[in-house]
Amino acid sequence: MTDPAVLRRYRVEHSTRYEYVATVMHGHHLLHLSPRQQQWQRAMQHDIDLHPITGLLRPDTDAFGNPVHRLEMESPHQQLIINASSEVLVSVRPEWQADSTMEWEQVCKRLCYRHQSRTTEELEAISYRAESPHVRVKNAFADFATACFPVGCPILVGAQTLMSKIYRELAYAPGETQVNTSVLSVLESRRGVCQDFAHLMIACLRSLGLSARYVSGYLRTRPPEGEAALVGVDASHAWVSVYAPPYGWVDLDPTNDLRVGLEHITLGWGRDFSDVSPIRGVIVGGGEHQVTVAVTVTELNDRVVDSSTS
């Protein structure tokens, strides 16, 4: 029997419902709803179902190596429901010690332009060092993070200190920010959700000359003691991956101030949210529309009861 302390099996149900006031004549959508295969994560099963009509659904891989599906809707419709279901096996990630990582200044030097040859890992890391659509590189972010990275500080010691600072100084406030809320606004208000916590941490690291990427996925949430888990009340989650030699990429969750582990399920990663949003696309027609999302993450054998969500 496998030790439950080092292995978890989950079922994820992610349902997205679009209701349009006018008819959609044609639509193209990009879906980031498939768990990414990794050393510590294996997708045992994955399905995507469409209701009430069908479309052309084609699996693909994006520029960051994430599994995606490209969906083309050719039939007129005023409602579209996309149900993604997965069974995922998650195991313990490789161990690392924060104080044994390279000094952060040395990492910066390795990520700067040089004429010398680069390793594949360094070349990939450099691509996550610059600004991206939702993450700016500014002195304000470097100033916020500078006390976390004193001279000679190992990079993961500094990154964990920054993660804890964000957790302490920002309030988790659902509904107070939107997808397009700027990171500067989040820094000023000190309020947001997991996407904002992740974008702020990435902006701080990049503003110091370090490399960080945005990770999209799910977090296993637990109901109060003695109560059953409810269907549909979970949500997508986001965290940060930091380039930290000699370990490579290491994942940290600033929303919860912890190392990413057995209760995190990875969908994919990119420069920021825009690269790995669960569903995005272009439609012809439709007019105004309403979106309803319901997510359930269940550790198999858990007790789950029905509940509506919007």
Domains for the chain: give ranges and CATH numbers: 7-90+277-305 (2.60.40.2250), 98-275 (3.10.620.30)
pLDDT for residue 123 is more than 70: yes
pTM listed for this prediction? 0.92
| pLDDT classification of 28: cutoffs 50, 70, 90 | very high
pLDDT value at residue 3? 54
pLDDT at 191 over 60: yes
Better-predicted residue by pLDDT, 292 or 303: 292
Task: With cut-offs at 50, 70 and 90, classify the pLDDT of residue 302.
Answer: low
Per-residue pLDDT tens digits for 97-112: 999 999 999 999 999 8
Query: What confidence tens digit (pLDDT) does each residue in 160-179 have?
Result: 999 999 999 999 999 999 98
- H, E, C per residue of the chain: CCCCCCEEEEEEEEEEEEEEEEEEEEEEEEECCCCCCECCEEEEEEEEEEECCCCEEEEEECCCCCEEEEEEECCCEEEEEEEEEEEEEEECCCCCCHHHCCEHHHHHHHHCCCCCCCCHHHHHHHCCCCCECCECCCHHHHHHHHHHCCCCCEHHHHHHHHHHHHHHHCEECCCCCCCCCCHHHHHHHCEECHHHHHHHHHHHHHHCCCCEEEEEEEECCCCCCCCCEECCEECEEEEEEEECCCCCEEEEECCCCEECCCCEEEEEEECCHHHHCCEEEEEEECCCEEEEEEEEEEECCCCEECCCCC
